[in-house]
Structure 1
Amino acid sequence: MLGTLVLLLILFGINQAVYNGLSKKHSWFSKGLMNNLFLYHLFFFGVYYTYAAFNRSDSKAYFERPQLIDDWFSFYGTSTTFIDFLSWPFINFLSFNYEMAMLLFSWLGYLGFVYAYMFFRENIPIKINVFKNFDFLVLTLFLPNMHFWTASLGKGAPIFLGLMMFAYAIKKPKSRLFTLILGSILIYFIRPHVFLFVAAGTVLGYMTGREKISFGKKLMIYAGMIGGLLLVQDQILGMAGLEDSENLVSDFEDFSEDRAGGLSNSGSGVAIANYPLPLKLFTFWFRPLFFDAPGLLGLIVSVENLIYLLLFFKILKKDFISFLKSSPVTVKMSLTLFLLSSFALTFVMSNLGIIMRQKSMVMYFLFFVIYYYLAQKKYDKIVKIKRLRMKRNRELVIE
């Protein structure tokens, strides 16, 4: 317990140093909001730790495996192995106990929220209220399900950090190259297939975004993303055993059916494999809802899923398509990443518990698109009002 408290104080001190550095770069950076968010995330660290004490949790296996082998680099690899690789030196060199390892990874998840805050705030300076009195940005930062699945030893925290680091850095890749590379490394080594979606979304965004981007910048992004995919294509396909496939579509369908069948037998299974695509996507994005919630946790998540659904309704408007056509790189990248991840994961997910955990890493990209759309509408309205006032003033002067 003493070690955990000491580590908590160290991490709190690191936070303050990070805040000071970011405040110098971004005048809008709010230390108070981030400190409150850290305390909120710590609460969910406690919630998850209590949950893991009475339920089956992968965090226990992630803590035990690194202690079984003395060779650190034997854990070097992708997916589950990479989490063992990350935790190995802390557990074996620094003698972290289970609570300390959990706290460390929970902190990594918290840093993901810091980068999410900067990604949203830098690209969307306009404040938007939803449900009458709730600040959109604050609401999304404090969604409980997002914190629960990023507050423990496992894949959830570092993959979320990697995705948000990448999203923040891609706006200015030259000046944020280290952040961009580190985020890409985390994404690729934890979930290689998600790196594929990130690369595709980035390339599409830069190809179709409304900004005038220099040829050199575009070339750097294209070369980096496409070159990276070519280098790691075997590892990505190997995640599904498709590295030697002669018919990727057919073999992926077989893999999806096997994977979905296996997951459907693990507790809260749903027959998603037999659903039409729209219902598959609805299940991935918005279930469980109250009618199919698996236990108390499911009921709590159902409230959050209802918020997702109500926010999603806000973009079901005629002008959303025209907005997308003229939207910037970040919007098109976010939407592509969100949709590609959703399409792929719906084919292999058939367990509500796993769905709740998996979607937490991509829902923020949907929130970003919704937020940007609402902010653009508000901005256009403000501009329109200003033009009308200027026109009236000119008419009065003439009279």
Structure 2
Amino acid sequence: MLGALVLMLALFVINQMMYSTFSKKHKFFSKKLMNTLFLYHLFFFIVYYTYALFNNSDSRLYYSRPQYGAWGEYFGTSTTFIDFMSWPFINVLGFNYEMMMVLYAWFGYIGFLYAYLFFRENIPIKLKVFKLDFLILVLFLPNMHFWTASLGKGAPIFMGLMMFAYAIKEPKSRWFTLILASVLIYYIRPHVFLFVAAGTVLGYMTGKEKIAFWKKMLIYIGMIGSLIMVQDTILGMAGLDESENLVQGFEDFSEDRGGELAKSGSGVDMVDYPLPVKLFTFWFRPLFFDAPGMLGLIVSVENLIYLLLFIRILKKDFLKFLKKSPVTVKMSLTVFFLASLAMSFVMSNLGIIMRQKSMVMYFLFFVIYYYLAQKKYDRIVMLKKRKNKILKSRELGVS
């Protein structure tokens, strides 16, 4: 455990250097908040590590597998790529299990760091919900930290998604972050890269901003070209690479996958659910009535928060807002909805649902936050106009 403590201190120092860089780029950046968030995330590393000591955890397999082959043998997509990432740390630097857990927990924290940058850079207006600062609330949601604080896919895929969301705003100056994020997303979860690419293209096609033609072309060529290059891998993940009917093939895959996952103790038979119920299940369950164990009860509280936040966009003016919304909002909503749609067809296990949705919920939070902030901004502008009108009428009356 001594090695893990030393690594924590080393990563804390690295964090301070990153904070200094971001503080120069963004005036809003708060080192105090990010240090607090880092300590909070480390607490969930301890919680998950304790949980793994007494329960079956995939993190043990992720640590043992890279020790039995050469580095090049592990290069590939999905689980294999996590082994590829871990190999030099385990076999060259000599990281033990605890140190690898700390390293991947730090990857998860970097995801929260970029989520903070993504939200604050695009939404400068502060907003309160449930008498709490909106951004603080979503940054400190426990379930998000629990599933991104261990050795496995959860931490690096979340890091990749949030890095991508931050970098896509300025692809020219943030090209390295954008490419690194794209590589991580594709090699860890190829199908999620499909959703991200589709969301990005749609966002740039329909966003309200006047974007330079070269920038649009760069995004279109980059995203569409990437999809063409990796289409076989993406289809192969679902066994559709040789299918003559992709729709029927996906339906068969969904039924088979859903049936397998439903066999576990926390399974729910979602195969015959209508689409709205499938989406509701993926987004907001477990709730208190179907929570699997103590962890499920804790997650139910968080799911209730998700539901209450989601209700806030079920307004008549939301579609009008969406039509005029910027690239980041349309991209976020597309990624969230496409990922939810695909995963709701294949996920039939509440435990896996709790883990998987942590990848994409921040895209929903961003849309909700932007919508509520826009409404607040519109109210402020309207009140200022009324105030100026009253002042002008008074001035005319005096004169």
Structure 2 residue 98 is the aligned partner of structure 1 residue 102: no
Structure 2 residue 68 is the aligned partner of structure 1 residue 68: yes
Alignment deviations for residues 127-147 of structure 1 (CA, whole Å, 9 cap, x no partner): 00001x200000000000000
What amino acid does structure 1 have at the position aligned with 2:12? F
Partner of 1:78: 77
**SS state of the match for residue 127, structure 1?**
coil
After TM superposition, the runs of 4+ consecutive aligned structure 1 residues lying more than 3 A away are none
- What is the CA distance between 1:91 and its match in structure 2? 0.5
Structure 2 residue 90 is the aligned partner of structure 1 residue 91: yes
In 1, distance between residues paired with 2:142 and 2:266? 20
- What is the CA distance between 1:65 and its match in structure 2? 0.2
**Corresponding residue pairs, total:** 397
Partner of 1:236: 234
- What is the CA distance between 1:393 and its match in structure 2? 1.5
Structure 2 residue 348 is the aligned partner of structure 1 residue 359: no
**SS state of the match for residue 125, structure 2?**
coil
- What is the CA distance between 1:272 and its match in structure 2? 1.0
In 1, distance between residues paired with 2:273 and 2:186? 30
Partner of 2:196: 198
**SS state of the match for residue 32, structure 2?**
helix
Structure 2 residue 395 is the aligned partner of structure 1 residue 394: no
- What is the CA distance between 1:271 and its match in structure 2? 0.7
Partner of 2:43: 43
What amino acid does structure 2 have at the position aligned with 1:180? L
Alignment deviations for residues 149-181 of structure 1 (CA, whole Å, 9 cap, x no partner): 000000000000000000000111101000000
Counterpart selection for 2:277 from 273, 276, 279: 279
Matching of residues 203-282 of structure 1 within 5 Å = 203-282=201-280
Partner of 1:121: 120
What amino acid does structure 1 have at the position aligned with 2:102? L
Matching of residues 147-158 of structure 1 within 5 Å = 147-158=145-156
Alignment deviations for residues 228-278 of structure 1 (CA, whole Å, 9 cap, x no partner): 000000000010111111100001110110000111112210011111100
In 1, distance between residues paired with 2:53 and 2:272? 35
In 2, distance between residues paired with 1:230 and 1:41? 37
What amino acid does structure 2 have at the position aligned with 1:287? R
Alignment deviations for residues 56-102 of structure 1 (CA, whole Å, 9 cap, x no partner): 11100000100111x10100000000000000000111111100000
- What is the CA distance between 1:48 and its match in structure 2? 0.3
In 2, distance between residues paired with 1:176 and 1:149? 27
What amino acid does structure 1 have at the position aligned with 2:283? W
In 2, distance between residues paired with 1:297 and 1:220? 44
Give me the TM-score of the superposition, normalised by structure 1.
0.99
- What is the CA distance between 1:396 and its match in structure 2? 1.6
In 1, distance between residues paired with 2:6 and 2:373? 42
Structure 2 residue 366 is the aligned partner of structure 1 residue 381: no
Cα RMSD of the aligned pairs, angstroms, is 0.6
Counterpart selection for 1:166 from 152, 164, 167: 164
Q: Which runs of 5+ in 1 are unaligned?
A: none
